[in-house]
A and B are shown apart, each in its own frame.
Chain A
Amino acid sequence: MVSRFKEALGSGKFVITSEVAPPKGTNLEKMQHHIDLLKDKVDGINITDHQSSAMRFPSLGGCLAVLESGGEAIMQMTCRDRNRIALEADLLFAYSRGVRNVLCLTGDAVVVGDHKEAMGVFDLDSLQLINAVHALAGGKDLGGNDLDGAVEFCVGAIVTPEAQPLEPQLIKFEKKVEAGAEFFQTQAIYDLDNFKRFMDYARKFKTKILAGIVLLSSARMAKYMTANVPGIFVPDDLLDEMSAAPKEEMLAKGIEIAGRTIAALKNETICDGVHIMAIGREETVPDILKAAGM
């Protein structure tokens, strides 16, 4: 069984991924509902891995739910909570159960989450994790020992095209490409001109870029993200557009902006696809796609 997501990446079509967050607890209803909503509309569903360092149902469990529902899962994997032994073991298990895509992340700091006194592991970083996946694919573990049965994943990573300063991010991006990252999902982008400049650079590398689309649900949220979330910058014209919308129409405005951005990225063939993050409003993703003309 090969990765359907990888096939989509290779097909030259405009690829769409989205993401679903597992619950805090064992009630999987809402997660399942979001999976059902998205599975036939996107090429891959990311399942987050204790996002923002808040303990939740595991990414791997969410991925199995995606697979059981007939969808394509992209397992997010951070280096925050597991050492290399545990990460490798989870990769073996995930592969054995049909997961074929992994997004390698360093992970947020423990102290931003809801278990502030826990130990942050970071035995590996995102780059070393990419290498670990490739080692396992080559039939060896990180200790150099032979595996009885290897893995085969489509390996991805993230990049922040709006980071300040940008060059250190680009250096790490290039290291990730060199390590064999086949696709990148970017941090949220809003300024298309800026993103085009990034793509002019990124096009030189043999990898696929999916632009991060984060739904703006209100003007306040847009301002908050610009002020507080690393690498997210909502330009003034979008802020004005959001602020001008009446309160009850703000979400619709955000959907329109997201749809319009996706349509522009696709029609002007700026990048290879998009990764839509609706953060708690997953039910709007079909509307966003409709607004994008898909």
Chain B
Amino acid sequence: MKSMTKQKPIEEIQQSLEGLDKVFIVGCGTCTTLTNTGGVEQVEEMKEKLQEMGKWLTGTLVIPTACDDMTDVAMKENEQAIRGADCLLSMSCALGVHRLSLYLDIPVIPAVDTLFIGVEETPGYFREACAQCGQCFLGITAGICPITACHKGLVNGPCGGTNNGKCEVDKEKDCAWTLIYNRLKEQNRLHLMRQYQPPRNHHVTLQPKSMKIS
């Protein structure tokens, strides 16, 4: 499972850094390294771009896993260089940005957009598998998620846009409900597709979502 990201356009990054001349860059050794959006190489490239912009780099660092609590230690080890910066530019996913913000008073600015949590289905091909909807349907949809795999998140069967097993939004994308139908049929469990699913509860966990484990 990986947090899938893409780098923001450099113009947007430049805009976010307006008035912030001294920058410390943080990359992540886990997800953004894998997606080539925030590993050692990309941090180095970003450093050069920022220098071309006339920024002063107080340091760079690629944290093994920016979202976990060891980030605290890495921050402390680099305290001086970070203190000397006006802001921290994060090339980790947004979870890393959140974690970094916990320890810092200076602004933490994301350099990447976080897209989805992906599961690697075939080498290099990542697909969103779960949107944490709070009401899991997998038991009645033969293990295929109707929330993430169906473009409209439909829970009662296919829409009228399904075409030869493909989705109306993209001829390359499978229609989730054809997949669900095929697999339920194989399992001899098509009766599950005939059941009426009432409107979903969009507030299973009230936003803002949090949970305390005792």
Contacts and interface: CB of A to CB of B under 8 A. Distances in A.
Interface of A: 84, 105-106, 108-109, 111-112, 120, 122-128, 131, 142, 158, 160, 163-165, 167-169, 171-172, 174-175, 178-179, 187, 230-231
Interface of B is mostly: loop
Given A123-B202, A178-B196, A168 B155 contact: no
Q: Of residues B151, B157, B164, B177, which shows the largest number of chain A Cβ atoms within 10 Å of its Cβ?
A: B157
B156 interface: yes
Given A164-B164, A168-B178, A106 B202 contact: no
B93 to A, nearest CB: 22
A168 B152 contact: no
A161 B170 CA distance: 22
Nearest to B154: A125
Contacts of B194: 171, 174-175
A187 B178 CA distance: 19
A108 B161 CA distance: 7
Nearest to A121: B152
B181 interface: yes
A171 B160 contact: no
Given A125-B155, A167-B181, 19 more contacts: A84-B199, A106-B160, A108-B161, A109-B152, A112-B169, A122-B153, A122-B154, A123-B202, A126-B159, A142-B199, A165-B181, A168-B158, A168-B162, A168-B177, A169-B158, A172-B156, A174-B194, A179-B196, A230-B160
B162 A112 contact: no
Contacts of B128: none
A187 B169 contact: no
Contact of B168 (A112, A124, A174, A179): A112
> Which of A84, A158, A163, A178 is most buried by chain B, counting CB atoms within 10 A of its CB?
A163
A40 to B, nearest CB: 30
B46 interface: no
Given A111-B169, A168-B162, A179-B196, A106 B181 contact: no
A231 B193 contact: no
Interface in B157-207: 157-165, 168-169, 177-178, 181, 185, 190, 193-194, 196-200, 202
Interface residues of B, number: 30
B196 to A, nearest CB: 6
Shortest 7 CB-CB contacts between residues of A and residues of B: A230-B163, A172-B157, A168-B181, A106-B159, A122-B152, A127-B156, A109-B169
B196 A175 contact: yes
B161 A128 contact: no
8 contacts: A109-B151, A111-B169, A122-B154, A142-B199, A168-B158, A168-B181, A178-B196, A230-B162
Nearest to A157: B160
Nearest to A164: B164
Contacts of B165: 164-165
A122 B159 CA distance: 11
Interface string B78-111: 0000000000000000000000000000000000
Contacts of B152: 106, 109, 120, 122, 125
B157 A128 contact: no
Contact of B160 (A123, A131, A164, A231): A231
Given A112-B169, A165-B181, A160 B193 contact: no
Contacts of B162: 163, 168-169, 230
A171 B158 CA distance: 9
Contact of A171 (B151, B161, B163, B193): B193
Contacts of A142: 199
Contacts of B181: 165, 167-168, 171
A188 B198 CA distance: 29
Nearest to B164: A164
A184 to B, nearest CB: 12
A120 B193 CA distance: 24
Contacts of A160: 160
A175 B193 CA distance: 9
Chain A CB within 10 Å, residue with most, of B154, B197, B199, B202: B199
A76 B196 CA distance: 22
A164 B178 CA distance: 9
B147 to A, nearest CB: 10
A131 B178 CA distance: 24
A175 B157 contact: yes
A168 B160 contact: no
